[in-house]
Structure 1
């Protein structure tokens, strides 16, 4: 079998969730949208089902997958519903939903409710992607309460720049949110992972940790707040070919890398069709049998090449960690000009091995 392995350490997922909840205080929804950021939503949810205050997913399909697997705790639809017919499923499966625009509000108010909805009413406090503007938020809140179709409203917003510690936008968003919500009843939720880690004023009734549950930092640089996070996914492959080249020889598509000295090149089974980023070519870090090395040449669809020159003991069969315990996924993401979220969500064709 092709030796590309995504090892998912579920005990680490559980530890990261408990850490996030402690750091935030109050309650926390484990965000398991996008198949738990590529880790497997069902297995991750099951790993914390007895301790999690609830879960958050993007859409109805993701929620139904969890319900079918026996996840009985609260599940929030972060995007709400896309058409009125979905509200019947929301009722049937006892789901919570975000209401973030006038169309969703009108659908809910017009729906025949057999039980009260639990609504998370979203405010656009400055990100300008979704939510009611502060000036319209109170009226939407009042209409929901007056309808008799909701049992509680959680007031929520989402940060645009929480992962930039020195950006004043987060404080401005918190101020706008608090001003518009001052006289409105209900719990509040504003903190994503970055908010939990470095913005104490964002700690409210409900946190919404996402990327930190998977052991990756949302922040641009390591800091004390992220030291205790444990990477959940370890992506590894093996060397299955070795080539000896002299100085001045090209490697890979486009001849983008040319050897500057006699070079041992290791061929490994992983490429951009597996989700490893094509742009993370020469210089992207790897660990070969536990020792630091790098990718050389351009990442191709099914394979990539690594530098074995200074590792004479490594060769056919040597294990290559692409990210995980020794290789920081944020460093790989930086080489590709992207973020760890994208790398994790893109992994496919690997053999997923779950460890409790």
Structure 2
């Protein structure tokens, strides 16, 4: 999707905030654990909506590698000059292994069956498999992908050796590291630790720590810290757990009033005519809608205009929404959807709480139609 550069709606990304979030995490871990693990920045899903390329380029000198969700995201990073290690966190289509080899992209092996499919490829004989680094994924309780026994992991290592591949790492992912109750977390940690201890050999990288584990369970940090949500200044738990070090939210979302009118008592606004004015009402139109990721359930929430909270009225449309204004204002007046205006502030967590979801989803849903503007780069 092409960004709408001629529309006033834009997400402003403070790259200095992202860099500070990395530095603050490093300082926190050094003081807490006295260790210096490698930091791999998680820039999947277009950098959690912040823009993977610019985020990766800005963070490049502060991190040791990057994590993405699929091969296309890795290709995008390589095509924009990122040369550091890139780990694809999910399994890829076996037929595409040659792309990973050629671009020196590290793959996740999710199962022995997957690696057998790779071994059966006719094209494998034409590849220099010594350039294919892989990490074994362990399903310690997440239930998505990964091996569940040490025997399967060791069979993968043996087959990888036979194929001339580089067994570079093994990892898992915690399902509840951001929650108060630690029962599931401890069960997963125990399973992963026992499996790693049973390997025929230890790879270069053993890692299980995402942002949440790195913040609230620093004892899990091993060779790599996969820094995701906290990289962007977002608390992985939402509001359930307090942050243990300083983070700064990197994204703000801004727009402008494009139309202002006064509607009389009894007039309706929006699809379904759900909003009915109880008195003469000043209505402003803002060019953002559910096609931009500003979803229909934002009706009833608010934005900031001239430092005041202004309620979203009527249904959010595909491209526009309407708000109740305290007074008639000029076209072009700034509207803050996420960020600060005067003494008022709207955070990503505030938006998530209104939707009944998590901050990850709010920023990841911001579509490519919204122009990204970068500051302090």
Shift of 1:26: 0.7
The partner residue of 2:47 within 36, 39, 47 is 36
* Preserved CA contact (<8 Å) 1:96 1:119: yes
Q: Distance in 1 between matches of 2:338 and 2:299?
A: 14
Shift of 1:102: 2.1
The partner residue of 1:77 within 80, 88, 105 is 88
- More deviation in 334-343 or 43-52? 334-343
Q: Distance in 2 between matches of 1:262 and 1:121?
A: 63
Q: Does 1:153 align with 2:168?
A: yes
* Preserved CA contact (<8 Å) 1:138 1:181: no
Structure 1 stretches lacking a partner, 5+ long: none
Shift of 1:146: 4.2
Q: Distance in 2 between matches of 1:292 and 1:242?
A: 17
Partner of 2:67: 56
Q: Distance in 2 between matches of 1:307 and 1:199?
A: 45
Pick closer, same or farther for the CA change 1:258–1:161 going to 2, 3 Å.
farther
Partner of 2:346: 327
What SS class does the counterpart of residue 368 from structure 2 fall into? coil
* Preserved CA contact (<8 Å) 1:99 1:105: yes
Q: Distance in 1 between matches of 2:280 and 2:212?
A: 45
Pick closer, same or farther for the CA change 1:138–1:102 going to 2, 3 Å.
closer
Q: Does 1:340 align with 2:340?
A: no
Shift of 1:213: 1.6
What SS class does the counterpart of residue 6 from structure 1 fall into? strand
- More deviation in 344-353 or 45-54? 344-353
Pick closer, same or farther for the CA change 1:102–1:245 going to 2, 3 Å.
same
CA RMSD of aligned residues (A): 2.4
Q: Distance in 1 between matches of 2:281 and 2:183?
A: 49
- More deviation in 175-184 or 17-26? 17-26
* Preserved CA contact (<8 Å) 1:21 1:27: no
Partner of 1:134: 149
Partner of 1:3: 8
Output one character per residue of 1:90-126: Cα deviation in whole Å (capped at 9) or x when no partner: 2221111111112322245554452243221111101
The partner residue of 1:104 within 114, 133, 149 is 114
Pick closer, same or farther for the CA change 1:351–1:226 going to 2, 3 Å.
farther
What SS class does the counterpart of residue 254 from structure 2 fall into? strand
Partner of 1:93: 103
- TM-score (normalizing by structure 1): 0.89
* Preserved CA contact (<8 Å) 1:32 1:41: yes
- Say how many residue pairs are matched: 352
Output one character per residue of 1:111-154: Cα deviation in whole Å (capped at 9) or x when no partner: 44522432211111011110001354443354256437244432
Shift of 1:53: 0.7
List aligned pairs for 1:135-284, cutoff 5 A: 135-144=150-159, 146-147=161-162, 149-184=164-199, 185-186=202-203, 187-221=205-239, 223-225=241-243, 228-282=246-300, 284=301
Q: Distance in 2 between matches of 1:19 and 1:137?
A: 38
Output one character per residue of 1:298-324: Cα deviation in whole Å (capped at 9) or x when no partner: 101111112212xx3744322111113
Partner of 2:308: 291
Pick closer, same or farther for the CA change 1:259–1:3 going to 2, 3 Å.
same
Structure 2 stretches lacking a partner, 5+ long: 1-5, 30-35
Partner of 1:67: 78
Q: Distance in 2 between matches of 1:19 and 1:42?
A: 22
* Preserved CA contact (<8 Å) 2:339 2:347: yes
Q: Does 1:303 align with 2:313?
A: no
Shift of 1:259: 3.7
The partner residue of 2:24 within 3, 19, 40 is 19
- TM-score (normalizing by structure 2): 0.85
